[in-house]
């Protein structure tokens, strides 16, 4: 095929997929609320436990190096991951002495609950009668409770973060199964730059700075690893396409700046400066918050820093006449091959 025919074929193919992109955006409008996404996990809510490790962002040369190593079949270098979660070891609460076991209310084996003891209970006598007995009538019983409470409180203090870490592990376990079942229909994304804005066409509370992720499960440990995919950070510009009061050219310039500079959702400084400039492009009253997410339903646009991991849906379209497949992600963008 000569160059002219190749150019015409590419133009026609591009128009087809632009049509599919517009159709997808019409049928699946951009998600405005993070709660509308299938799954989400705020990083600020992760428990402080040795089985949960936060990594560092792959930026610039580090990201290029990691991509080359992945292509060569090598493992990621230490530290080049977003999050690692191992299964914690859970322990049982110390067993209470028999003399107090019958007096304890339910929940005594839950580290998140306080110990509750009945004040009184009915006791049967030899003659068949019953009488009301108070817990504090027996000094030995009161002393046994105090001794057991000390060991139980020490256990609960260590066990609470372990139970919280197990919930995170179980959440990722369920997410991994979902991704395996739904194959290319869902993808994992890191988001930051939470935009809060009350709009007539629908309120917004969603991250606008997005980085695609990949989830790996090592059953031998067992351990989940979330790392960055070999794909640049994106601006969630689909949110602004229906806003007639937002300058589309300004958003385009912001997108070009992001592509050139490579701002990252987990990096402060330059990324915060970019978000601060962007929110002013949305409104002269736009506000930027450095260390926290904005409150919901702000009358004027507000962008804050509070990273999270979430799952979004994607649509894949295969073309048998051409090599590979084309993907329309949940933000309406078209990408060739497996992104």
pLDDT digit string, tens, across residues 28-69: 678 999 999 999 999 999 999 999 999 887 765 445 444 444
pLDDT in tens, 236-277: 988 888 788 999 899 999 999 999 998 999 998 899 999 999
- Residue of 285, 302, 284, 281 whose CA lies nearest to 293: 302
Structure confidence at residue 66 (pLDDT):
41
Better-scored residue on pLDDT, 319 or 128: 128
Give domain limits for the chain.
30-88+165-336, 98-162
> How does the average pLDDT of the chain come out, rounded?
85
Please state whether beta strands 204-218 and 234-235 pair in parallel, antiparallel, or not at all (unpaired): antiparallel
Closest to 24 in 3D by CA, of 332, 334, 280, 246: 332
Q: How many CB atoms lie within 10 A of CB 284?
A: 7
Provide the 8-state DSSP code for 98: H
The interaxial angle of helices 270-282 and 248-261, nearest 10 deg, is 170
Per-residue pLDDT at 231 exceeds 70: yes
pLDDT in tens, 141-162: 999 999 999 999 999 999 999 9
Residue 75 has pLDDT above 50, yes or no: no
Task: Please list the residues that pair with 84 across neighbouring strands.
Answer: 53, 225
pLDDT at 316: 45
pLDDT higher at 97 or 62: 97
Cβ 47 vs Cβ 112: under 8 Å: no
Question: Residues 103-132: what's their mean pLDDT?
Answer: 86
Backbone angles phi, psi at 29, to 5 degrees: -60, 155
pLDDT band at 73 (very low <50, low <70, confident <90, very high): very low
Predicted local confidence at residue 7, as pLDDT: 87
Q: What's the pLDDT tens digit per position in 157-195?
A: 999 999 999 999 999 999 999 999 886 788 899 999 999
pLDDT score at 16: 85
């Amino acid at each position: 095929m000569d160059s002219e025919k190749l150019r015409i074929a590419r133009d026609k193919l591009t128009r087809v997929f632009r049509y599919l992109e517009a159709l997808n955006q019409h049928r699946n409008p951009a998600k405005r609320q993070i709660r509308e996404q299938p799954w989400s996990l705020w990083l600020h809510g992760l428990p402080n436990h040795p089985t949960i490790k936060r990594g560092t962002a792959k930026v610039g040369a580090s990201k290029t190096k990691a991509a080359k190593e992945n292509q060569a079949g090598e493992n990621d270098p230490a530290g080049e991951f977003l999050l690692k979660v191992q299964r914690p070891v859970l322990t049982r609460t110390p067993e209470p002495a028999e003399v107090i076991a019958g007096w304890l209310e339910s929940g005594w084996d839950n580290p998140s609950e306080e110990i509750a003891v009945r004040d009184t209970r009915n006791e049967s006598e030899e003659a068949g009668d019953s009488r009301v007995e108070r817990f504090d009538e027996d000094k030995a019983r009161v002393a046994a409770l105090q001794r057991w409470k000390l060991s139980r409180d020490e256990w609960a203090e260590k066990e609470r973060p372990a139970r919280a870490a197990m919930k995170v592990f179980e959440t990722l376990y369920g997410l991994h199964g979902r991704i395996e079942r739904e194959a290319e229909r869902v993808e994992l994304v890191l988001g930051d730059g939470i935009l809060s804005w009350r709009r007539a066409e629908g309120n917004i509370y969603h991250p606008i700075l997005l980085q695609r992720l990949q989830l790996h499960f090592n059953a031998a440990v067992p351990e989940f690893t979330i790392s960055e995919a070999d794909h640049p950070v994106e601006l969630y510009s689909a949110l602004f396409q229906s806003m007639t009061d937002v300058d589309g050219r300004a958003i385009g310039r912001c997108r070009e700046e992001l592509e050139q500079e490579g701002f990252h959702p987990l990096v402060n400084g330059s990324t915060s400066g970019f978000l601060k400039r962007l929110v002013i492009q949305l409104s002269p009253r736009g506000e930027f918050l450095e260390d926290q997410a904005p409150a919901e339903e702000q009358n004027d646009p507000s962008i804050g820093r509070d990273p999270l991991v979430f799952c979004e849906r994607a649509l894949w379209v295969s073309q048998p006449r051409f090599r590979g497949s084309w993907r329309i992600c949940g933000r309406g963008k078209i990408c060739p091959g497996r992104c």
